[in-house]
Amino acid sequence: MASWNSHPFGLRRPHEHISTAPAPPFGDLIQTLKLSDLKTDTKTPSTPQITDFKPLGSYSWLDKKPGQAEILIPGQPPRWTPQPYPTPLLEDTGTYYRDKNAARYPHHPTEPAILTALTSDPALPANIDLFACGSTLGNLLRFARDVDSDRSFRMLAYKLGGTVFLVRRENSPTETIPGVRGFGHAFPEANTSWDVGVKGSVSHQRVVGYKVGGLEVVVRFEADGYIAGEKSASGLKSTAKDKGVEGAGSLDELTNALASLNHGGYKPSTNISKPETLKLTTAGTPIPHSSLFDLKTRSIRTRPTQSTILAGEIPRLWLSRVPKLILAYHTRGLFPKEDIEILDVREEVDKWEEQNKKELERFSAVLAWVKENVGQALKGQGEGVGVVEICRRGGENGLELRRAGGTVYALASGGVRDQWVDVVGGKSNVQSEEKKEGEKESEREREKEKGSEKESEKESEKESEKESEKESEKESEKESEKVKENDSDDAYDVSPEDGIGFDDWEEQVRDRFEYSPWDWKDQQDDDFTACSADHCGYCGRCSY
């Protein structure tokens, strides 16, 4: 039996040696992006800020044996239940996976998030450009900000419909974190609780959507917990009965249950294909995003540098939009109440966004580059099956787009891939048809307005014509009187012999009779295209 080791900052359990799996091989290089390229070659979107944020859904992983993957939808994050009388905690021990989703569902780690998003309709937007996670987006953000340049990362990229999916890639789906130290796991275990309806959960995942840099992005991330007391998310009701417990053995039942959460608009299909090895159960209560918190533990010695700690967490909170951060400081494993701070970080996040516009413009440009070049690299390959890799190997190598080396799997099960194309593509088509119908309606309104204007013009023309006729009659009477007075047939003899040219004659005639070619009632029906300036007898009714 292992013995306990004393440690100046708390009790420490012995750690077993954990081997790290070898890295998968790199595929052929397709293209490289360096930050300097973004300044000249990549168009920078005009709006790098995050807008149009919307929660799309959630799920919780149950603690099951390998090969028995099961999630609860909507699930529920652990509730904040601080110890009434703090006691010293034992330092972290156990097995901690780098990627909890891949560890529990190795072949298709993004599939639970896709299924969750599909059941979130009508919140799910059409024309989704990127579907990613906090890790993949965080790595791209660090690259764009040019921080931690020596830190390497890898991710797989798929294209399904019009969406590019980014999937975290570790050396192995079940790769663990060796040499864990501190109280980052022990503290939440002692100060948070899984509610009755979601007992047995080990991780709660959230799926949200927003726009950044003109792109529609969906993001999955892990939530550390929630603080009770706020209203249920967007007025949604619990999908669980009695004390929050409701088991649903099939995805069809789950979809029917979640369909009641919709508020009109597009309805999700009830025939989502059930994954072969992933069990879905309806349980939990939707928790509002505003109740979520992220949690970090630190030694009391670091408290004077809290602003630095906060600055290091803000970029990640900007991506997840989690509004609260709990900072817990310990002295030899003891966390006194006065050393636990619950911070509302929304203003800090907004301030950071404003102060880092240039970096966020580069980030938006990186996302646009990923969307465009992954799409180009996967042309002609199977939807959600063809795959490339995006990686950074540290140093000055930049961001590399490569063929995927080693063993890779499809993005999701066949039925789930088809469902994504049907639902998101269907929403896009509906949106397109609505846009077309709206344009047609606008055109009809414009035609009506034009018709009304024409009617008004005709009425005005008729009134003008009547007035002109009256004036003409009066003038004719006056001229007749003058003719009678002159009693001569050449009263208007304007021949050249009198020193008046043709142009002067035309002007004089127009002056005398207030003539205008636009006064002819049938002018719009006349066709003068056969006239010629060379053979013109001058009728007075055309430009010649």
Helix H or strand E segment including 344:
strand 340-344
Q: What mean pLDDT comes out for the span 325-331?
A: 98
Task: Report yes or no: 182 and 89 within 8 Å, Cβ to Cβ.
Answer: no
Q: How far is CA 454 from CA 441, 451, 460, in A?
A: 20, 5, 10
Q: Are 157 and 233 part of one and the same domain?
A: yes
Q: 0.85 cut: is pTM over it?
A: no
Spatial separation of the C-alpha atoms in residues 106 and 136, rounded to whole Å: 17
Q: Are 385 and 464 part of one and the same domain?
A: no
Task: Report yes or no: 156 and 166 within 8 Å, Cβ to Cβ.
Answer: yes
Q: Are 384 and 327 part of one and the same domain?
A: yes
Local confidence band at 499 (pLDDT 50, 70, 90 cut-offs): very low
The separation between the first and the last C-alpha atoms of the chain, rounded to the nearest angstrom, is 113
**Among residues 52, 349, 54, which one has the least CA distance to residue 214?**
52
Q: Are 227 and 285 part of one and the same domain?
A: yes
Beta bridge partners of 387: 158
**Among residues 288, 128, 146, 290, which one has the least CA distance to residue 212?**
128
Domain that holds residue 499: 443-525
> Is 259 strand, coil or helix?
helix
Q: Are 395 and 511 part of one and the same domain?
A: no
Q: Which residue has the tokens 């009388």?
A: 85
Q: What mean pLDDT comes out for the span 414-430?
A: 80
**Among residues 466, 377, 539, which one has the least CA distance to residue 31?**
377
- The length of the chain in residues reads 544
**Radius of gyration over every alpha carbon of the chain, rounded to an integer in angstroms:** 37
Q: Return the percentage of the chain with pLDDT > 90, whole number.
A: 55
For 145, list phi and psi in degrees, rounded to 5: -85, -5
Spatial separation of the C-alpha atoms in residues 214 and 141, rounded to whole Å: 16
Q: Are 495 and 408 part of one and the same domain?
A: no
Residue 235 lies in a domain: yes
Q: Are 366 and 490 part of one and the same domain?
A: no
Q: Report the range of poorest mean pLDDT among 383-397, 409-423, 528-542.
A: 528-542
Local confidence band at 95 (pLDDT 50, 70, 90 cut-offs): confident
Residue 422 lies in a domain: no
Cα angle, residue 236 at apex, residues 232 and 242 outer, rounded to 5°? 80
- Residue 366's pLDDT is what? 96
The pair of three-digit structure tokens given for residue 456, joined into one six-digit string:
């008004």
The pair of three-digit structure tokens given for residue 286, joined into one six-digit string:
């939707």
Q: Which tens digits make up the pLDDT trace of 96-125?
A: 999 999 999 999 999 999 999 998 766 687
Mean pLDDT score of the chain, rounded to an integer? 77
Domain count, the chain: 2
Q: What mean pLDDT comes out for the span 405-421?
A: 93
- Residue 471's pLDDT is what? 63
Local confidence band at 448 (pLDDT 50, 70, 90 cut-offs): low
Is 70 exceeded by the pLDDT of residue 445?
no
Q: Are 404 and 520 part of one and the same domain?
A: no
Q: What mean pLDDT comes out for the span 16-45?
A: 76
Residue 420 lies in a domain: no
Q: Which residue has the tokens 């190997």?
A: 393
Of 274 and 455, more confident: 455
Residue 423 lies in a domain: no
Q: Are 407 and 455 part of one and the same domain?
A: no
- Residue 66's pLDDT is what? 78
Pairing of strands 130-133, 163-168: parallel
Residue 461 lies in a domain: yes
Spatial separation of the C-alpha atoms in residues 198 and 543, rounded to whole Å: 86
Q: Are 385 and 507 part of one and the same domain?
A: no
Q: Are 139 and 229 part of one and the same domain?
A: yes
Q: Are 397 and 465 part of one and the same domain?
A: no
Helix H or strand E segment including 58:
strand 50-62
Residues in CB range of 416: below 8 A, 6 or more apart: 108, 111, 114, 115, 272, 273, 275
